[in-house]
Homo-oligomer: A and B are copies of this chain.
Amino acid sequence: MNIVVMKFGGTSVADYDCMQQVLAKVIRHRNLGRKVIVVLSAMAGETNKLISFAYQWSDCPDPAEMDSLMSTGEQVSTALFTMILKDQGVASRSVLGWQMPMRTNDKYCRARIQSIDCQTLRTMLEQYDVLVAAGFQGLSPDERITTLGRGGSDTSAVALAAAIGADVCEIYTDVEGVYTTDPNVYAKARKIETITYDEMLEMASMGAKVLQIRSVEFAKKYNVKVHVRSTFSDKPGTIVTQEDNEMEDALVSGIAYDKDQARITLAHVTDKPGVSAAIFSPLAEEGILVDMIVQNPSKNGQTDMTFTVPRGDLQKTLHIMEEVREEIGAEEIYHDTQVCKVSVIGVGMRNHSGVAAKAFQALREENINILMIATSEIKITCLIEEKYTELAVRTLHDAFELDKNNQPACT
């Protein structure tokens, strides 16, 4: 059985006209003899409407009831879309999370997928050409409705593709694919034809919000080929897949940036064992995601610790640091929110030296001061002053000639 999974987000099912675009794409696959699983989100704005509704009634809505409430969004969009499909004579039906069933744990509002019963879906695919599956929702061990958290429909789609062994998981969105950088920041940004899971993970986590990060992890784990493309065009988009030989030619795939950063510096911390734990354990307990960490070389038994957190967590972080201040012996605590992370991403840099040097050189030529540096096998990240964000992105994009398909090798 030749199966394709197609996922459409809230803006793609926002109204009747959009749904007609979706319909045309689904029927094209069907007419080529493929079985189709269409995964739909709630219509744009519906989930937020339901959430604000709940908060009108309750200060602290019960999470399990919240999930029962929120899951109606996809129940509405799948029913309406199936009605249109059936009007066109397509053998189809809607499938809710509990009907698949998409088994999850019982962490309501942010459940994790545990298993999908393929037999039920396979039997349905024998009877129907198109299944219209509700994204975002699952079934807890005690048979209650769960939801997968924001953007969970991407994860639903990839999980279904993995479980059923689909040839490809097409994720439709309102952009034409993944770009070398944000086209709003630099018009020379170029659509990437193929990108690896790891590169996509770095791009997504840095704010290139095309694909939900968990769905990429899922795709990587189960080796699902993901095709990110536009609902409103027929051009091919970006294929997210595992690394192959062809890709090694590309040194750098893209430039990402993330302005949602705040930097905290603890000055003159006593440099003794256990200090790092004293700083970062209470942050972890509060669920605060610490990203970049730099510890200066020790001098006279003292050191400076600098790290970044999401801006929304700054006040909570400062509060916790005041509490541990005495224990760690920090003389001063500084913070700064006018900062931005800019990253150069590419699996190719693993095998080539000089990428970091080239990036630093390019920034220096524009007099952009680098506040912090972090590197991984496939990524170089610089924290810079926020006001230089756009200039830094353009500069790095030019330095690695990302507007061209064939980049020069680093020397």
Contact present for A65 and B87 (CB under 8 Å): no
Q: Give a binary string over A56-89; 1 marks a CB under 8 Å from any B CB, 0 the rest.
A: 1111111011101101100110111011101100
- A378 at the B interface (CB under 8 A): no
Closest residue of chain B to A96, judged by CB? Answer: B68
List residues of chain B with CB within 8 A of the CB of A180: none
**What count of chain A residues pass the 8 Å CB interface test?**
37
Contact present for B144 and A99 (CB under 8 Å): yes
Bound together, the chains give a CA A54 to CA B94 distance in angstroms of 14
Bound together, the chains give a CA A145 to CA B80 distance in angstroms of 15
Contact present for B98 and A83 (CB under 8 Å): no
Contact present for A57 and B94 (CB under 8 Å): no
Q: A98-B98, A144-B99 are in contact. Are A65 and B86 (CB under 8 A)?
A: yes
A390 CB → nearest B CB, Å? 43
Contact present for B93 and A64 (CB under 8 Å): yes
- A222 at the B interface (CB under 8 A): no
Contact present for A68 and B57 (CB under 8 Å): no
List residues of chain B with CB within 8 A of the CB of A53: 76, 80
- A143 at the B interface (CB under 8 A): yes
Contact present for B75 and A62 (CB under 8 Å): no
Bound together, the chains give a CA A145 to CA B99 distance in angstroms of 10
Contact present for A58 and B72 (CB under 8 Å): no
Bound together, the chains give a CA A54 to CA B66 distance in angstroms of 25
List residues of chain B with CB within 8 A of the CB of A57: 16, 19, 80, 83-84
Q: A64-B93, A99-B143 are in contact. Are A76 and B83 (CB under 8 A)?
A: no
Closest residue of chain B to A99, judged by CB? Answer: B143
Contact present for A80 and B69 (CB under 8 Å): yes
Closest residue of chain B to A77, judged by CB? Answer: B69
List residues of chain B with CB within 8 A of the CB of A19: 57
Q: A59-B87, A64-B93, A99-B144 are in contact. Are A75 and B78 (CB under 8 A)?
A: no
Contact with A58, one of B61, B69, B78, B87 (Cβ below 8 angstroms): B87
Contact present for B66 and A79 (CB under 8 Å): yes
Q: Give a binary string over A129-165; 1 marks a CB under 8 Å from any B CB, 0 the rest.
A: 0000000000000011100000000000000000000
Q: A54-B80, A66-B79, A80-B53 are in contact. Are A87 and B60 (CB under 8 A)?
A: yes
Bound together, the chains give a CA A65 to CA B84 distance in angstroms of 10
The residues in A between 237 and 279 inclusive whose CB is less than 8 angstroms from any CB of B are none
Contact present for A82 and B59 (CB under 8 Å): no
List residues of chain B with CB within 8 A of the CB of A99: 143-144
- Give the 4 A-B CB pairs with smallest separation, nearest first: A69-B79, A72-B72, A58-B83, A65-B79
List 29 A-B pairs, Cβ < 8 Å. Answer: A16-B56, A16-B57, A19-B57, A53-B76, A53-B80, A54-B80, A54-B83, A57-B83, A57-B84, A58-B80, A58-B87, A59-B87, A60-B87, A61-B83, A62-B83, A62-B86, A65-B80, A65-B83, A65-B86, A65-B93, A65-B94, A66-B79, A68-B78, A69-B80, A72-B76, A75-B75, A98-B98, A99-B143, A99-B144
